[in-house]
């Protein structure tokens, strides 16, 4: 995978009729190598709606956030349960679209339950920002989604979804069934 290929995949998805919001996720080095302006131009032309750069420090985010904003792209920062509230305010000041709240410290992957520190993080983010909050890392079961109802506006499911569709004959149908199960019987994905 390369940044150019990922951006091309966004364009391909849009050309195929995908209308839901799309955010690209990358480390900061590929953005710097391409140049922030060129990167933002390419993402916007492809039809992306936002950009997540997990290793971009809050103290260095304003420039990229402004460049993205000039191209109508949301800068979507990540915050962790260990992030002090004062720092959350600085991070949220550069955010657009939503704030990606990380439920755990450490690596991504399915967990048995929602970390109580994640609920505290969601409340602290709400205290410093009116943007929607999405909680990710470890969300994999319907009971996780149910436990988060009323605490955040979205959940991010990555590893569990990839595990569900791995080797499936019809990945799209498998993904849809997985999302329906997460949301509860009869829900629209």
Same domain? For 37 and 105 the reply is no
Residue 102 is encoded by which pair of tokens?
């990380």
Same domain? For 24 and 68 the reply is yes
Same domain? For 71 and 29 the reply is yes
Number of domains composing the chain: 2
| Domain boundary, last residue among 48, 76, 104 | 76
Phi, psi of 149 (to 5 degrees): -60, 125
The DSSP 8-state label assigned to residue 139 in this structure reads -
Calculate the CA dihedral of residues 183, 185, 188, 189 and round it to 10 degrees.
Answer: 40
Helix/strand/coil percent split, the chain, to 5: 50, 10, 40
Same domain? For 92 and 156 the reply is yes
| Domain boundary, last residue among 76, 110, 143 | 76
Tell me the β-bridge partners of 24.
Answer: 51
109/101 Cα distance (integer angstroms): 15
69/72 Cα distance (integer angstroms): 5
Query: Which has the closest alpha carbon to 156: 103, 106, 107?
Result: 103
pLDDT at 134: 97
18/33 Cα distance (integer angstroms): 29
For position 97, which CATH number holds? 3.20.20.70
Same domain? For 93 and 22 the reply is no
Same domain? For 81 and 169 the reply is yes
Same domain? For 122 and 155 the reply is yes
Whose structure tokens read 């260990």? Answer: 82
Confidence of residue 74 (pLDDT cuts 50, 70, 90): very high
Same domain? For 70 and 155 the reply is no
Same domain? For 120 and 175 the reply is yes
Q: Which helix (H) or strand (E) holds 127?
A: helix 116-128
Residue 38 is encoded by which pair of tokens?
């060129």
Same domain? For 127 and 166 the reply is yes
Mean pLDDT of 49-63: 94
State the residue range of the domain holding 4.
1-76
Same domain? For 136 and 66 the reply is no
pLDDT of 189 above 90: no
Each residue's pLDDT tens digit, 84-114: 999 999 999 999 999 999 998 766 555 567 8
123: which residues sit within 8 A by CB, 6+ positions away? 151
Same domain? For 173 and 124 the reply is yes
Residue 78 is encoded by which pair of tokens?
């990540």
| Domain boundary, last residue among 38, 55, 76 | 76
Each residue's pLDDT tens digit, 107-127: 655 556 788 889 999 999 999
């Amino acid at each position: 995978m390369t940044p150019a290929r990922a951006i091309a995949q966004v364009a391909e998805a849009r050309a195929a009729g995908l209308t839901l919001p799309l955010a690209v996720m990358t480390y900061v080095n590929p953005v710097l190598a391409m140049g922030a302006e060129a990167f933002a131009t390419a993402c916007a032309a492809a039809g992306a709606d936002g950009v997540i750069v997990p290793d971009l420090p809050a103290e260095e985010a304003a420039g990229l956030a402004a460049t993205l904003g000039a191209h109508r792209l949301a800068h979507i920062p990540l915050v962790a349960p260990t992030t002090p509230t004062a720092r959350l305010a600085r991070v949220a000041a550069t955010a657009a679209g939503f704030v990606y709240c990380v439920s755990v410290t450490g690596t991504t992957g399915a967990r048995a339950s929602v970390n109580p520190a994640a609920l505290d993080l969601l409340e602290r983010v709400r205290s410093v920002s009116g943007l929607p909050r999405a909680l990710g890392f470890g969300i994999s079961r319907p009971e996780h989604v149910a436990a988060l109802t009323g605490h955040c506006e979205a959940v991010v499911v990555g590893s569990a979804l990839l595990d569900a569709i791995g080797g499936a004959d019809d990945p799209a149908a498998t993904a849809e069934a997985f999302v329906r199960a997460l949301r509860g019987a009869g829900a629209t994905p």
